Chain A
Amino acid sequence: MTSVSPNLGHAGGSIPDGVRTIRRTGFAIGVATGLYGISFGALATASGLDVWQAMVLSAVMFTGGSQFAFIGVVGGGGSALGAALAAALLGVRNTLYGLILAPSLPRTGWRSVLRAHLTIDESAALAAGGRDEAEKRAGFWAAGVWVFVFWNLFSLVGALAGQFVADPAAWGLDAAAAAAFLALLWPRLRSRDAVAIAVAAAFVALLTTPVLPAGLPVLAAALVAVVVGVLPRRGRR
């Protein structure tokens, strides 16, 4: 079930077509995800943060789930410490992404700092869809850089003019995010085992959503992969 077929007729250039395609996808993810920054900026200022605080979260924290969790607690009248803890729970999965991505990305120098900073759902997901190391790296950097650029740009727009801009949900951007994650998952669903893992993880996440604090359902779902990976291999692959 591969969605992209390499166009071998144009293999003359120095950049392989797969890499070019994945870079374009990274730009698209950057725009779609970045637009949601309007929602973050607007909610952040409505929750009582000033524009600078909203922008420090977008530029330095730079992980949407944690940022929304942080302003959710502040907006709900919770303590600053509670907000930081809620953000930290959502951020745990970024540590998992580092484990997954480590073999594909540079280990030293300023780029090793940048790779950590750009490690988010979108960059990890696009990298995971790469068919070789070059595509994985291209996917990670393209999604990471473009999401960073547009997320910060639109966070600022939302923080400065949130009350004048339409709700991104009205444009279906929340559904776009779900569709983007599904489209990134799709090429991986080649084996029955992979489908079973994805479906089981989705169920675990939904079943635990009402009972666990935000951020933990996705980690609970990650345990599905850990259990399948650690269990002794059966005869069939």
Chain B
Amino acid sequence: MSMLWIAVIAASVLSFGQKWLGYQAPPDALDRPRISRTTTLLPIALLGALVATQTATSGTEIVLDARLAALGVAVALLLARAPFLVVVIGAAAAAAVLRALGWA
């Protein structure tokens, strides 16, 4: 078996282990006020970070391109209380049009 196959399988098993591990925390530990406050806030911080990295990074670089304009479209649609699908498709269409026109 090649080194690449070993790495594919080992990294895949490790990935499952990482996912599994989070669920093994004892429930009463998660109930402690400071821990439960933190786990309530974590999705907000993680989503904020994911929006930023998905919009403005490429590898280890900051890249401002059509994605940023598309995110602006998404904000406008969210402010107008558009449904989830409209927001997502609207942003994708904005980025696709900008790229097709060669503007970003």
Contact = CB atoms under 8 A, between A and B. Distances in A.
Contacts of A103: 27, 30
Interface in A142-181: 169-181
Contacts of B48: 185, 197-202, 205, 221
Interface in B1-26: 3-16, 18-25
B44 A96 contact: no
Nearest to A32: B88
Interface string A84-124: 10011001111111111111010100001101110101001
Nearest to A229: B38
Interface string A40-81: 000000001100010011001111001000101010000111
A182 B51 contact: yes
A205 to B, nearest CB: 4
Contacts of A174: 54, 67, 95
A204 B44 CA distance: 13
A221 B45 contact: yes
A184 B48 CA distance: 10
A188 B44 contact: yes
A73 B14 CA distance: 17
A134 interface: no
Contacts of A225: 38, 41-42, 44-46
A182 B78 contact: yes
A225 B47 CA distance: 11
A57 B15 CA distance: 10
Chain A contact residues, majority secondary structure: helix
Contact of A3 (B5, B8, B51, B84): B84
Nearest to A105: B23
A15 interface: no
Given A28-B85, A175-B95, A116 B23 contact: yes
Nearest to A113: B20
Interface string B31-70: 0001101111111111111111111110111100011001
Nearest to B25: A99
A225 B49 CA distance: 11
Nearest to A183: B87
3 pairs of A and B residues whose beta carbons are closest in the complex: A98-B22, A229-B38, A172-B95
Interface of B: 3-16, 18-25, 27, 30, 34-35, 37-57, 59-62, 66-67, 70-71, 73-75, 78, 81, 83-85, 87-97, 99-100
